[in-house]
Amino acid sequence: MNMLNNKIKSGQQGFTLIEALVAFLILSIGMLGIASLQTMSLKSGHTAAMRTAAVLKVDEILESMRSNPAVLLNYAAGTADMGIDNGCSQTTVAAANCTPAQMAQDELFRWKNSLTDALPNNAGTTASVVVTPPVPPQTMTNVVVTVNWSERDPETGGAATMNYSVSVEL
């Protein structure tokens, strides 16, 4: 009876070293997959944040244009130099002394500065505002706002040019 117990016990020694290494290898491959997924998630989150910033900034200038509809062409005229700091938005008194055209240039200047602060690669961030006046009998002005910026391409590691463009009738 003693020999029978010894044979049963010798077959149940536990994991061998090879079995433990195989289990460790499978676990390591799974952990590498999770790390890769986390990295891709972070890169995608950054791109989404930049797109959100671009959308918000385009909406900001469109709202400024809606509040100052008499001089829509002035918003496009300042695209090359992106406006002039007239100090119109500094105080209520300064705003009261500004003409609608000066207000448009001031808003464009402040918008461009906040745009380069919000998006990466300030030197690569560009914007354009194109205003097409209405042709009678139409009464709505067509406005196209485009924002371009550069960011790191998650697939190639190089630079990728991103853009966001909106066309609206004001």
Span 41-100, pLDDT tens digits? 887 787 888 889 999 999 999 998 998 888 888 888 655 566 677 778 766 665 678 888
Q: Which range of residues forms the domain containing residue 25?
A: 19-169
In-domain check, residue 149? yes
In-domain check, residue 13? no
Q: 0.85 cut: is pTM over it?
A: no
Q: CB of 120 within 8 A of CB of 54?
A: no
In-domain check, residue 53? yes
In-domain check, residue 2? no
Burial class, 141, CB count within 10 angstroms (exposed 0-12 / middle 13-18 / buried 19+): middle
- Which pLDDT belongs to residue 26? 95
Binning pLDDT at 50, 70 and 90, where does residue 31 land? Answer: very high
Task: Assess whether pLDDT exceeds 90 at residue 34.
Answer: yes
Cis previous bond, 154, omega within 30: no
What is the number of alpha carbons within 13 Å of residue 147 lying toward its C-beta? 27
Q: What is the pLDDT of residues 102-132, one digit of tens each?
A: 888 888 888 888 888 888 766 677 888 888 8
In-domain check, residue 11? no
Q: CB of 106 within 8 A of CB of 90?
A: no
- Which pLDDT belongs to residue 95? 64
Q: Provide the number of structural domains found in the chain.
A: 1
Task: Assess whether pLDDT exceeds 80 at residue 27.
Answer: yes
Average pLDDT over residues 16-37: 91
On average, the pLDDT of the chain sits at 81
